[in-house]
Amino acid sequence: MKRSRLLAVVLFVGDFLILYLSLYVALSLRNLSLPSEKLYQSLQLPFLYLFILWILVLFIFDLYQLPFFKQKLLFLKKVILFVIFSLLIGTAYFYLQPQLQLTPRAVLILTSFTAGVFLSLWRVLFSLFFRGKKFCQKVIIVGSCKEVEEIMDKDLRHIGYQIIAVFSKKDIIPGNIKVIRSFAELEEESKKADVAVLTPEVKEDKGFVKNIFESLPLMINYMDFSSFYEQITRKVPLYSVDELWFLENISRKRKKVNEVMKRVIEMLFAIVGLVLTVALFPFIAVVIKLNSSGPVIYSQERVGLGGKTFTLYKFRTMKDKEIDIPWREKEEGQITSIGKVLRNTHIDELPQFFNLFKGDVSVVGPRPEWIKTAKVFEKEIPFYHLRYLVRPGITGWAQLHYQASTSVEEAKEKFRYDLYYIKNRTALLDTIIFLKTLRTVF
């Protein structure tokens, strides 16, 4: 198990224990005495289901995203939001279950506030303990590329790594491997290297690699830079994508059962969304018409699965008629006042439930691009057509991690995230993306 996953599991288990501790403390405070064993046990199962929902809230608000304290005020805001949402969810949960014969208003409030305090303290201790030097693998990077420059100054201790040195190929020419050996043989554990990450320019030099192998067998672990970069950034470096990468990572038989199950769930989701869209349509149509002239629904040809085109539907948010503009930065002056509200609340995207119902899009996948911009990207970005191997999505990994493209360079950056999703897509990853999107929407 990767260290980052191990840390996440430890944090998750600790959260559950703390939530039950919070319940015990809340009962003690409520009665000003330790609760009876019978009472505490009777509440454990009802609160178990509630705590699962609270764990989802923690995840949605990025309280599993290490490091926690990049911005202390933002962390505090997330904790406060957790307490508010835990109270709202708890109130609804017990209100919908009158058979529990329980009126835990005071207990629920105390548990929520106590959990907020304890979970915050747990994350402080977790950061201090598990980001310590002895829990991190010391990494030296051998070779140069722009991706190395991107990560060399990052603090990676929250995912179990610490970069202690970076060498260009010119720094370590064949016959001078003793530089790496010096890091592998240091007696001081805090400075001793555990892993050497080799970049493409180093791997391609067979004589250099042979020299390393003969000089340092089993003295240190080795890792391909592409794998290291993907693990810490959650995107694929474009230099690593070629026909062989495609054969190794993409061209697998689809898991038919998973595809069918996903489609069934999306159909149910689309039906619920269409009912909501129909219910809101008269009100949205009126405000759009009163604000500006033009059609209520806007349609545009997009590129979908297999490179086939389809018509995407949205509520119109621009003046008179939507203008097909490749770059978002040029359209700001065209957005109506109501359009800004519709976009900020994502209500303009409700008609896409019709596309979901038809099967044009999935809930999760790469963003479906306008035909004209797609042609530009296909020409300028190698292997861009790999995006068409999966159905485009209403939301996606790249949409969560990067802004809408306003240039080819930005499209390249988003494409790296798309490749990561295409390579690693699973039901679990789709669920994670969906939950993260809920935070963005609400």
Indicate whether 328 and 262 sit together in one domain. Answer: yes
Tally of domains within the chain: 3
376 within some domain: yes
Phi, then psi, of 292 in degrees rounded to 5: -165, 160
Domain end among 130, 160, 188: 130
Indicate whether 221 and 275 sit together in one domain. Answer: no
Q: Is the pLDDT of residue 357 over 60?
A: yes
Q: Is the pLDDT of residue 426 over 70?
A: yes
Residue 198 CA to residue 142 CA, distance in Å, equals: 5
250 within some domain: no
397 versus 294: which is more confidently predicted? 397
Residue 243's pLDDT is 80
Indicate whether 205 and 177 sit together in one domain. Answer: yes
Indicate whether 229 and 280 sit together in one domain. Answer: no
- How does pLDDT run across 400-412, given as a tens digit for each residue? 888 888 888 889 9
Indicate whether 99 and 42 sit together in one domain. Answer: yes
Indicate whether 340 and 383 sit together in one domain. Answer: yes
Across 267-278, average pLDDT: 93
Q: Is the pLDDT of residue 245 over 90?
A: no
Task: Give residue 200's pLDDT band: very low, low, confident or very high (50, 70, 90).
Answer: confident
Q: Check if the beta carbon of residue 58 is closer than 8 Å to that of residue 15.
A: yes
Range with the poorest average pLDDT among 139-153, 168-182, 342-356 = 168-182
Q: What's the chain's average pLDDT?
A: 82
Domain end among 233, 264, 281: 233
Residue whose token pair is 């310590």: 132
Range with the poorest average pLDDT among 117-126, 198-207, 320-329 = 320-329
Q: Is the pLDDT of residue 266 over 70?
A: yes
Q: Is the pLDDT of residue 94 over 50?
A: yes
Two tokens at 54? Answer: 């609270």
DSSP state of 55: H
Cα–Cα–Cα angle for 5, 134, 65, rounded to 5 degrees:
35
Indicate whether 139 and 19 sit together in one domain. Answer: no
Across 263-269, average pLDDT: 91
Residue 154 CA to residue 149 CA, distance in Å, equals: 10
Range with the poorest average pLDDT among 77-81, 195-199, 412-416 = 195-199
Indicate whether 60 and 143 sit together in one domain. Answer: no
Report the CATH number at residue 186. Answer: 3.40.50
Which residues make Cβ contacts (< 8 Å) with residue 357, sequence separation at least 6? 267, 270, 271, 274
Residue 18 CA to residue 126 CA, distance in Å, equals: 13
Task: Give residue 398's pLDDT band: very low, low, confident or very high (50, 70, 90).
Answer: very high
Across 303-311, average pLDDT: 93
Confidence (pTM): 0.79
Across 367-394, average pLDDT: 91
74 within some domain: yes
Residue 99's pLDDT is 61
Q: Is the pLDDT of residue 65 over 60?
A: yes
Across 20-49, average pLDDT: 84
Task: Give residue 1's pLDDT band: very low, low, confident or very high (50, 70, 90).
Answer: very low
Residue 215 CA to residue 176 CA, distance in Å, equals: 10
199 versus 157: which is more confidently predicted? 199
Domain end among 130, 161, 193: 130
Residue count of the chain, please give it: 442
Q: State which residues form the domain around 199.
A: 134-233
